[in-house]
């Protein structure tokens, strides 16, 4: 998908739309609705790189064992640990 394979993108969009229809029905049973349904798969690699660079330049993310993480405990919430922004490729 990241390479722009049209067939893969078309299949992903179809599966995503079917999934969202089911999410809407499920959430409706809980009396919950959302204005928008989106996720990380809709974010371009360029945008992800831009955000990662911003987090690094502001000292929010740091390298840990070859991966880049945000130490939530240090920056945001003391009860959380860390979230990975870019995992080391093995």
pLDDT at position 38, please? 77
d(CA 90, CA 87): 9
Show the domain range for 64: 44-90
| 70: three-class secondary structure by DSSP | strand
Q: Do 48 and 88 fall into the same domain?
A: yes
Residues contacting residue 4 through CB under 8 Å, at least 6 positions apart: none
Q: What is the pTM of this model?
A: 0.51
- Residue 80, pLDDT above cutoff 80: no
Report the domain count for the chain. Answer: 2
Q: Do 38 and 48 fall into the same domain?
A: no
Q: Do 30 and 50 fall into the same domain?
A: no
pLDDT at position 15, please? 92
Q: What is the pLDDT of residues 22-57, one digit of tens each?
A: 999 999 999 999 888 877 777 788 888 898 899 889
Q: What percent of the chain has pLDDT over 90?
A: 26
d(CA 88, CA 57): 19
> How far is residue 42 from each of residues 48, 65, 76, measured CA to CA in Å?
10, 28, 25
User: Contact at 8 Å (CB) between 36 and 24?
Assistant: no
Q: Do 36 and 52 fall into the same domain?
A: no
Q: Do 9 and 31 fall into the same domain?
A: yes
């Amino acid at each position: 998908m990241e390479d722009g394979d049209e067939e893969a993108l078309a299949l992903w969009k179809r599966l995503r739309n079917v999934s969202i229809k089911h999410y809407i029905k499920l959430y409706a049973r809980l009396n919950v609705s959302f204005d928008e349904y989106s996720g990380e798969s809709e974010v371009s690699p360029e945008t992800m790189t831009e955000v990662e660079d911003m987090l690094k330049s502001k000292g929010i993310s740091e390298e840990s064992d070859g991966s880049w993480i945000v130490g939530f405990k240090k920056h945001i919430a003391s009860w959380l640990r860390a979230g990975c922004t870019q995992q080391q490729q093995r």
